[in-house]
């Protein structure tokens, strides 16, 4: 025949096709003029663009490389490039979400850099300010959580302090108090000023202790701490996966 046979398919001299949704193949005649061979001519990225071997290109937030290694294998790599965006925000942009200020860093990494207290007073992460009789601190914990908490000076002798927590909506909560946030999480204000989730709450009002699961009427309710320190709540039919909430 005049052409190539590859994986049970016949291809004519010069014909191209894509293997594994990633590699552009071509059938071509060998130098002897009597036989044919299949070769890889480039890599195809999801957007449909073909990258020649040993070259690269930027497409959206990613830099794609198509290279031949020392073993002669063709390898396609994808990495976030330095100027990748954070959604609609460009690198270096800052924007506010509720009581927090974010910045788009290198490689599209969203970084929280400050908190906003009352009257839109900005407090950088790790710093504190005295505002309306409160010493407000914007603090970041090891798991990446950033919260505001305040200390209010007492009125008797000026040396008594009352600790309060300030949530993402700017609302104050005294130490040892608790409240429901987002209809899903039961939170409490610790004496240290840190906000802690005690349990999760289902739509039916069922309280699920942290890092526990409860099965009621064929529905499994899960309240757990994820590897990155966030709290995950899920209500789902037994042996299924739906309806997740995160904090």
The tens digit of pLDDT for each residue in 16-69 reads 999 888 899 999 988 777 788 899 999 999 999 999 999 999 998 889 999 998
Same domain membership, residue 169 and residue 144: no
Q: What is the pLDDT of residues 146-186, one digit of tens each?
A: 677 777 655 444 444 556 677 766 677 877 888 888 778 88
Q: What pLDDT is attached to residue 240? A: 44
Same domain membership, residue 64 and residue 12: yes
Looking at the domain assignment, is residue 243 inside a domain?
A: no
Q: What pLDDT is attached to residue 153? A: 54
Same domain membership, residue 177 and residue 132: no
241 pLDDT higher than 50: no
Same domain membership, residue 20 and residue 72: yes
Closest CA relative to residue 155, chosen from 137, 176, 133, 171: 133
239 pLDDT higher than 60: no
Looking at the domain assignment, is residue 144 inside a domain?
A: yes
Domain ranges, residue 129: 93-151
Same domain membership, residue 146 and residue 178: no
Same domain membership, residue 130 and residue 69: no
Same domain membership, residue 8 and residue 71: yes
Looking at the domain assignment, is residue 244 inside a domain?
A: no
Percentage of the chain lying above the pLDDT 90 cut:
20
Looking at the domain assignment, is residue 86 inside a domain?
A: no
Q: What pLDDT is attached to residue 17? A: 94
Domain boundary among 133, 151, 169: 151
CB-CB contact of 216 with 206 (8 Å): yes
- Confidence tier at 189 by pLDDT (50, 70, 90): confident
Looking at the domain assignment, is residue 74 inside a domain?
A: yes
Number of compact structural domains in the chain:
3
Same domain membership, residue 103 and residue 76: no
Domain boundary among 48, 80, 112: 80
Same domain membership, residue 24 and residue 47: yes
Q: Average pLDDT for residues 84-102, to the nearest whole number? A: 89
Domain boundary among 80, 110, 129: 80
Same domain membership, residue 186 and residue 137: no
Same domain membership, residue 107 and residue 68: no
* CA–CA gap between residue 91 and residue 108 (Å, rounded): 7
Q: What is the pLDDT of residues 118-150, one digit of tens each?
A: 788 899 988 888 887 778 888 776 656 667 777
Q: Average pLDDT for residues 220-232, to the nearest whole number? A: 81
Q: What pLDDT is attached to residue 238? A: 61
């Amino acid at each position: 025949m005049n052409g190539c046979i590859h994986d049970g398919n016949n291809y004519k001299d010069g014909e191209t096709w894509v293997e594994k949704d990633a590699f552009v193949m071509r059938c071509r005649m060998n130098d002897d003029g009597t036989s044919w061979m299949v070769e890889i001519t480039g890599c195809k990225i999801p957007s449909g663009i073909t990258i020649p071997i040993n070259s690269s290109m930027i497409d959206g937030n990613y830099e794609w490389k198509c290279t031949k290694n020392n073993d002669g294998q063709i390898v396609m790599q994808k990495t976030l490039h330095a100027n990748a965006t954070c959604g609609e925000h460009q690198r270096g942009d800052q924007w506010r979400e509720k009581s927090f200020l974010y910045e788009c860093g290198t490689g599209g990494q969203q970084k929280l850099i400050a908190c906003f207290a009352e009257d839109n007073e900005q407090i950088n992460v790790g710093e504190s300010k005295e505002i309306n009789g409160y010493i407000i601190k914007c603090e970041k914990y090891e798991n990446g959580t950033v919260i505001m908490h305040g200390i209010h000076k007492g009125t008797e002798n000026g040396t008594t302090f009352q600790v309060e927590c300030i949530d993402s909506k700017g609302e104050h909560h005294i130490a040892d108090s608790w409240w429901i946030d987002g209809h899903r999480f039961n939170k409490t204000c610790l004496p240290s000023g840190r906000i802690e989730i005690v349990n999760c709450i289902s739509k039916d009002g069922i309280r699920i202790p942290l890092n526990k699961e409860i099965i009621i009427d064929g529905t499994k309710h899960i309240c757990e701490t994820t590897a990155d320190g966030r709290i995950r709540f899920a209500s789902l039919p037994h042996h299924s996966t739906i309806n997740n909430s995160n904090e």
